[in-house]
Amino acid sequence: MKQLILLFVFIHISFILYASTFPANITSSNIQDDVKTLNSLDISIESVSNQVIQTWVTREQFQVLQQRGFEIVELPNLAKAYAEQLWAETKDTRDPMNAYYSYDEFVAFLQSTATQYSSICQLVTIGTTVQNRPIYMLKISDNVSLEENEPEVKLDAAMHGNEVVGYDLLIRLIQLLTTRYTADTRIANIVNNTELWINPLFNPDGYVLMQRENAHNVDLNRHFPDFVDDPVNTTEGREPEIAAQMNFAAQHTINLALNYHCGNLVMNYPWDKIAELAPDNDLYINISEEYTSHNDPMWNSTDYLHGITNGYAWYQVYGSIIDWIYYYYNCLDITCEVSYDYWPNASTLPTYWMQNQESLLSYIEYAQQGIKGEVTDALFHPLAATLHIEGIDKDISTDSDVGDYHRILLPGTYNITASAPGYVSETINNVVVSANNGTTIDFRLQTIVEADFVGYVKDMNGLAIPGATVELSTTRIPSVQTDTDGYFVFQNLPLGLYTLTVTLNGMTRFNMQYAWNVGNQYPTIIVLQPAIFEEHFENGLSLWQVTGTWGIQETDSNHDLTDSPGENYVDSQEVFAYLIQPISLLNIVNPTISFRVKYDLESSHDYGYFEVSSNGTTWIPLATYDGNHDWMMVSYSLADFIGRHCYLRFRMTTDAAGHIFDGIHIDDIVVNGNQLNLITWGDVDNDGIITKADAQAVLDYSVGLDPLPSIDPRPWTDNRLDRADTNNDGNVLAMDASLILRYLKGDLSQMPVQSGTAITYSDPVISISNSVSQLFLNVLHFEYLFALNATLLPTVMDSNFRLNNSLNFIDLLTSSNIQSNSLMLGYASTQMVQGSVDVFTTTIPLINAQNPFTANLIVNETPRTLVVDSLPVTDPIAVPTVSYLNQNYPNPFNPGTNISFDLSKQGQIKLVIYNIRGEKVRTLVNSKQEAGTYHLTWNGTDDNGSPVASGMYFCRLETEDQHFNRKMLLIK
Buried b (16+ CB within 10 A) or exposed e, 489-512: ebeebbbbebebbbbbeebbbbbb
CB atoms near residue 710 (< 10 Å): 6
Q: Residues 936-959: what's their mean pLDDT? A: 86
- Amino acid identity of residue 522, one-letter, is Y
pLDDT at site 6: 34
For residue range 250-301, list pLDDT tens digits in order.
Answer: 999 999 999 999 999 999 999 999 999 999 999 999 999 999 999 999 999 9
pLDDT at site 808: 62
| Listed ranges 450-464, 917-931, 956-970; the one with the highest mean pLDDT | 450-464
pLDDT at site 15: 39
Q: Residues 322-331: what's their mean pLDDT? A: 96
Q: For every residue of 734-803, which 3-state class applies, written as one string?
A: HHHHHHHHHHHHCCCCCCHHHHCCCCCCCCCCEEEEECCCEEEEEECCHHHCCEEEEEEECCCCCCCCCE
pLDDT at site 674: 84
For residue range 760-789, list pLDDT tens digits in order.
Answer: 999 999 888 766 566 778 888 889 999 999
For residue range 40-96, list pLDDT tens digits in order.
Answer: 899 999 999 889 999 999 999 999 999 999 999 999 999 999 999 999 999 888 889
Asked whether the predicted pLDDT for residue 179 surpasses 60, the reply is: yes
Residue among 466, 512, 514 at smallest CA distance from 488? 466
pLDDT at site 86: 92
CB-count burial class (<10 Å; 0-12, 13-18, 19+) for 422: exposed
Q: Residues 570-588: what's their mean pLDDT? A: 91
Task: Identify the helix (H) or strand (E) that includes residue 4.
Answer: helix 2-19
Determine the longest span between alpha carbons in the chain, in angstroms: 133
Q: In 3-state terms, what secondary structure has residue 200?
A: coil
pLDDT at site 461: 92
Residue among 246, 241, 182 at smallest CA distance from 207? 241
Asked whether the predicted pLDDT for residue 902 surpasses 60, the reply is: yes
CB atoms near residue 768 (< 10 Å): 18
Give me Rg for the CA atoms of the chain.
37
Instruction: Provide the pairing of β-strand 256-261 with 152-156.
Output: parallel
Asked whether the predicted pLDDT for residue 851 surpasses 80, the reply is: no
Q: For every residue of 501-528, which 3-state class applies, written as one string?
A: EEEECCEEEEEEEEEECHHHCCCEEEEC
* 337 noted as active-site residue: yes
Q: 766-773 long-range contacts, Cβ below 8 Å, gap at least 24? A: 766/857, 766/859, 766/864, 766/866, 767/866, 768/855, 768/866, 768/868, 770/844, 770/847, 770/868, 770/871, 770/872, 771/872, 771/961, 772/871, 772/872, 772/874, 772/878, 772/880, 773/843, 773/844, 773/880, 773/882
Backbone angles phi, psi at 383, to 5 degrees: -120, 145
Backbone angles phi, psi at 275, to 5 degrees: -75, -25
Q: Assess contact for 823 and 797: CB atoms under 8 A.
A: yes
In whole angstroms, what is the distance from residue 220 CA to residue 280 CA?
25
Q: Residues 467-474: what's their mean pLDDT? A: 89
- Give Cβ neighbours of residue 553 (< 8 Å, ≥ 6 apart): 559, 560, 561, 562, 565, 566, 665
Q: Which residue has the higher pLDDT, 883 or 704?
A: 704
For residue range 623-666, list pLDDT tens digits in order.
Answer: 999 988 999 989 898 989 999 999 999 999 998 876 688 899 99
Q: Which residue has the higher pLDDT, 567 or 724?
A: 724
CB-count burial class (<10 Å; 0-12, 13-18, 19+) for 319: buried
Asked whether the predicted pLDDT for residue 465 surpasses 90, the reply is: yes
Sheet strands (E) in 421-506: 426-433, 439-440, 443-444, 450-458, 469-472, 480-481, 487-494, 496-504
Q: For every residue of 345-361, which 3-state class applies, written as one string?
A: CHHHHHHHHHHHHHHHH
- Give Cβ neighbours of residue 677 (< 8 Å, ≥ 6 apart): 587, 719
Q: How many residues does the chain have?
A: 972
Alpha helices in 50-142 (DSSP H): 59-67, 78-90, 103-116
* Res. 872 pLDDT band, cuts 50 70 90: very low
pLDDT at site 11: 35
Q: In 3-state terms, what secondary structure has residue 8?
A: helix
Backbone angles phi, psi at 36, to 5 degrees: -60, -40
Task: Identify the helix (H) or strand (E) that includes residue 209.
Answer: helix 204-209
Range in 345-354, 409-418, 600-609 the model is least confident about: 600-609
Q: In 3-state terms, what secondary structure has residue 166?
A: helix
In whole angstroms, what is the distance from residue 416 CA to residue 430 CA?
8
Asked whether the predicted pLDDT for residue 800 surpasses 90, the reply is: no
Q: Angle 734-745/692-702 helices, nearest 10 degrees?
A: 170
Q: In 3-state terms, what secondary structure has residue 604?
A: coil
Q: Assess contact for 162 and 342: CB atoms under 8 A.
A: yes
Q: Assess contact for 815 and 702: CB atoms under 8 A.
A: yes
| CA distances in angstroms from 473 to 477, 511, 619, 635, 957, listed in the order given | 8, 10, 28, 12, 42
pLDDT at site 432: 93
pLDDT at site 928: 85
Q: State the number of CA atoms in the 13 A half-sphere of 669 facing the CB.
A: 17
Q: Assess contact for 673 and 590: CB atoms under 8 A.
A: yes
In whole angstroms, what is the distance from residue 474 CA to residue 502 CA?
14
| Listed ranges 371-385, 440-454, 516-530, 864-878; the one with the highest mean pLDDT | 371-385
Q: Which of 152, 213, 239, 337 is catalytic?
A: 337
pLDDT at site 875: 36
Range in 116-125, 231-240, 699-708, 894-903 the model is least confident about: 894-903
